[in-house]
C-alpha cells in the first residue's frame, strides 16, 4: 500500500448565494462571494433584502464584507445592494462595522445605486453611508487590487445594459472569470480564455428553448455554454442565472447537456453551495 496523498489545504472558496435568473421565486437571484484568506468579495446582491437572509444562511456576516462588485444596474443584481448599503451604514453608526465598504462598478451602475439610495434611504443613513462607503469606478481593461485579489474589469459589450465582468487572480495564482449574466462575446476572449474557473449564465436547456425563449431575452442555453467552454478551455465551469422549473434535477440535466461538448469540470451549483477553488 502506498502512502495516502494529501490534497493541499483549500485557501479560497466561491459561495453561491443565489443561482436564479431575474424572475425566480424558488431560489435567489444570481450573486456570490469569493472568499480568499484576507477578504470576501461580494459580487452583485440579488433583487432585494433576500441578500440578508442568504448571507445569514451562508454564515457570512455583513460586518466581514468590505468589497462589493456590481456588474450592472438591472433589478435582480442591484436592489439587494441598497440593503447592503443600508445595513452596513446602520452597523457603522452603532460602531459594529469597522473600516470601509468599497463598492466597485462602472460609472452607470454606481450612479444608479447612489440615486436609488438617496431616494429611498433615511437621511441619517445616507450621511453615515457617505462616511463608510467608498465608491470606486472601474474602467474597461483596468486592473486593481481588491483585498488579496487582483481584479481586471472588462466591458462584456452588452446590447441591453452596460455591464462589466472581471478576471480575478486568486492568491494562489488561479484565474476566476465572471462573464456576467449575458452570453459570451468573442471580443472578450483575451479576458476569458484559459481561466481556471469560468462563471457564466445558462438561461435554460437547449431542448427547452421553445418554452423559455432564451435567445429573444439575450441569454443562452446549456448547450451554448458547452460549445463556448470547448473553445475557451477553462479548467472548471460554473453555470448560474437559470430558470427554476426543475431545481431538483437542474444540476444533472444542465451538466448532461453541457457535457455533450465540454469535457472539463462542470458545476451547476444550487443556492448556498460552496465550491472550493
Site residues for Zn ion per CB under 5 A = 22, 76, 181
The residues, any chain, with a CB within 8 Å of residue 184's CB and separated by 6 or more, are: 192, 200, 220, 228, 232
Q: Which CB sits closer to Zn ion, 240 or 262?
A: 240
> In angstroms, what is the minimal distance from the CB of 63 to Zn ion?
27
Nearest to 224, CA basis, from 183, 185, 264, 253: 183
Shortest Å, Cβ 109 to Zn ion: 13
Q: Is the CB of 182 or the CB of 208 nearer to Zn ion?
A: 182
CB of 190 to Zn ion, least distance (A): 24
Q: At closest approach, how far in Å is the CB of 120 from Zn ion? A: 21
Q: Which grid cell is 238? A: 460554473
Of 75 and 98, nearer to Zn ion (C-beta) is: 75
Smallest separation, CB 21 to Zn ion (Å): 6
Q: Please, which residue, 74 or 86, has the CB nearer to Zn ion? A: 74
What's the CA gap between 243 and 214, in Å, rounded?
Answer: 10
Q: Please, which residue, 76 or 243, has the CB nearer to Zn ion?
A: 76
Residue nearest to Zn ion (CB): 181
Q: What letters, b where the CB count within 10 A reaches 16 and e where it falls short, cover 11-49? A: ebebbbbbbbbeebeebbbbbbbbbbeebbbbbbbbbbb
Cα radius of gyration (the chain)? 18
Amino acid at each position: 500500500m502506498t502512502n495516502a496523498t494529501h490534497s493541499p489545504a483549500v485557501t479560497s472558496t466561491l459561495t453561491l448565494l443565489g443561482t436564479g435568473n431575474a424572475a425566480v421565486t424558488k431560489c435567489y437571484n444570481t450573486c456570490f462571494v469569493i472568499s480568499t484568506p484576507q477578504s470576501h468579495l461580494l459580487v452583485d446582491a440579488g433583487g432585494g433584502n433576500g441578500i440578508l437572509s442568504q448571507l445569514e444562511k451562508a454564515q457570512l456576516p455583513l460586518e466581514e464584507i468590505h468589497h462589493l462588485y456590481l456588474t450592472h444596474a438591472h433589478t435582480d443584481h442591484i436592489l439587494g445592494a441598497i440593503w447592503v448599503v443600508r445595513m452596513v451604514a446602520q452597523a457603522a453608526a452603532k460602531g459594529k462595522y469597522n473600516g470601509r465598504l468599497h463598492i466597485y462598478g462602472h460609472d452607470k451602475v454606481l450612479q444608479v445605486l447612489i440615486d436609488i439610495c438617496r431616494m429611498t434611504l433615511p437621511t441619517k443613513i445616507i450621511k453615515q453611508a457617505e462616511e463608510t462607503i467608498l465608491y470606486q469606478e472601474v474602467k474597461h481593461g483596468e486592473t486593481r487590487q481588491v483585498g488579496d485579489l487582483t481584479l481586471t474589469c472588462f466591458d462584456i459589450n452588452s446590447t441591453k445594459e452596460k455591464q462589466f465582468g472581471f478576471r480575478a487572480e486568486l492568491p494562489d495564482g488561479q484565474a476566476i472569470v465572471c462573464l456576467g449574466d449575458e452570453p459570451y462575446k468573442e471580443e472578450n476572449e483575451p479576458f476569458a480564455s484559459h481561466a481556471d474557473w469560468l462563471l457564466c449564465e445558462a438561461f435554460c436547456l437547449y431542448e427547452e428553448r421553445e418554452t423559455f425563449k432564451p435567445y429573444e431575452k439575450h441569454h443562452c442555453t446549456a448547450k451554448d455554454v458547452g460549445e463556448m467552454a470547448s473553445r475557451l478551455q477553462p479548467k472548471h465551469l460554473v453555470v448560474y442565472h437559470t430558470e427554476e422549473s426543475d431545481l431538483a434535477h437542474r444540476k444533472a440535466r444542465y451538466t448532461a447537456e453541457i457535457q455533450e461538448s465540454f469535457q472539463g469540470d462542470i458545476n451547476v451549483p444550487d443556492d448556498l453551495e460552496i465550491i472550493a477553488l
